[in-house]
Structure 1
């Protein structure tokens, strides 16, 4: 819709209307994060309830608007592409309203994937398959640390001091990044 808006000489029109729907949805997301859970309710349940009350009606209005405008736009135009894409991806676009743990978008994931896209060029020059595999493992561990809110250097210090003290065939799942916060808290 942003690309479609850029193609309009005076702005406005259907692309701007679509972006207003999305602005409303992101405003609701911002409010949902500040919402306080009711007694006995988890934060994820609270966010889901808030989305059901506020986001779902906007999504219903957006869907009706898209269904109405779809036959009126040229299929090969930027706005036609945006409308068609949104309708084709509707199930995925609205899925976040069913689970308060899900994000409205995948921006965080795309930012994390960008590291791999950049690293891919470096991996071309790995001398061996084992060297490339080792680089991929390190990337994976660092991104898992980030996703778990674990400081990577503290995690590596802990793991590299623990591993030498363990037998070769010992289970090391307790050393995984998502278990590190539990161990650090204990």
Structure 2
């Protein structure tokens, strides 16, 4: 099931990631921050959206269609990968099929991009130099996503999920202290997790307030309250339907004269 989980930490030190992902084994999609390398059993994958962002910044003004520009050439490879990813994701639902299609369609493009990368010798200190350095430093992660159809191609999902938090903290009260940030993280977790699993947020929060889960509950007890639990989903759907019906009845009630 889709899980969106927020945790606040006062610094971005790599040890925070180690603590947060303790016991996790698998692929880790994140930005280029080297602190994530400390997570012992996680295999890093590179975010192609970040790669594209650096190359976009390196395109000289007014030269976006000038294919003699190295940055534009690099973008052609990446745009093709994004297009293929959209096509494959829309066509296949099984992870094995996605992996097979990626290896057939995307792997040659990735290899072509890496060959192009090795031919670059930008002016030192230029934006293209910054882009090439960024990409070369993450070269070993660029092809990792091809190993498993479950792997993400970019970090866009996580960045989209964190956007409400980063925008909200500038506007909501009590977000200017560590305790306030931690409380916000808990609330955002409940809201965004409900949305990710297609559960009505209002009725799910009401349901949780009735159950009052806390850290003294066992994992089995908490499992009965998660938004992907079929019993919970059925209950929230029932409440939402009843609420909608009540609204319709109220709106449709004929006016009466006293």
Relative to the length of structure 1, the TM-score reads 0.77
Q: Are 1:140 and 2:196 matched, yes or no?
A: no
* CA-CA distance at 1:136 after TM superposition: 2.3
> Which whole-Å CA distance do the structure 2 matches of 1:84 and 1:127 have between them?
36
SS of 1:121 mapped into structure 2: coil
In structure 2, which of residues 78, 84, 88 is the aligned counterpart of residue 22 of structure 1?
Answer: 78
- 1:57 equivalent to 2:108? Answer yes
Counterpart position of 2:96: 45
Q: Which runs of structure 1 show a deviation greater than 6 angstroms over 4 or more consecutive aligned residues?
A: none
Q: Tell whether 2:249 aligns with 1:174.
A: no
Task: Find the counterpart in structure 1 of residue 207 from structure 2.
Answer: 158
Q: In the alignment, what sits opposite 2:142?
A: 93
Maintained 8 Å contact 1:155/1:180? no
Q: Hey, what does 2:154 align to over in structure 1?
A: 105
SS at the partner of 2:72?
Answer: helix
Q: Which residue of 2 aligns with 1:84?
A: 133
Shift of the 157–28 alpha-carbon distance from structure 1 to 2, 3 Å rule, reads same
Selected match of 1:6 from 60, 84, 91: 60
> Distance between the aligned counterparts of 1:22 and 1:132, measured in 2?
36
1:25-76 per-position Cα deviation (integer Å, ceiling 9, x unaligned): 0111112113346xxxxx111111111111111101100110111xx21131
Distance in structure 1 (CA, Å) of the matches to 2:59 and 2:176? 47
Q: Out of 85-94 and 130-139, give the one that drifted further.
A: 130-139
Aligned residues: 176
- The residue that corresponds to 1:40 in the other structure is none
Deviation at 1:158?
A: 3.3
Residue deviations 1:151-184 (CA, integer Å, cap 9, x gap): 32232233334x16xxx8572332023x335642
RMSD over aligned Cα atoms: 3.1
1:172 counterpart SS class? helix
Contact kept in structure 2, 1:56 and 1:97, CA below 8 Å: yes
Gaps (5+ residues) in structure 1? 38-42
TM-score, scaled relative to structure 2: 0.58
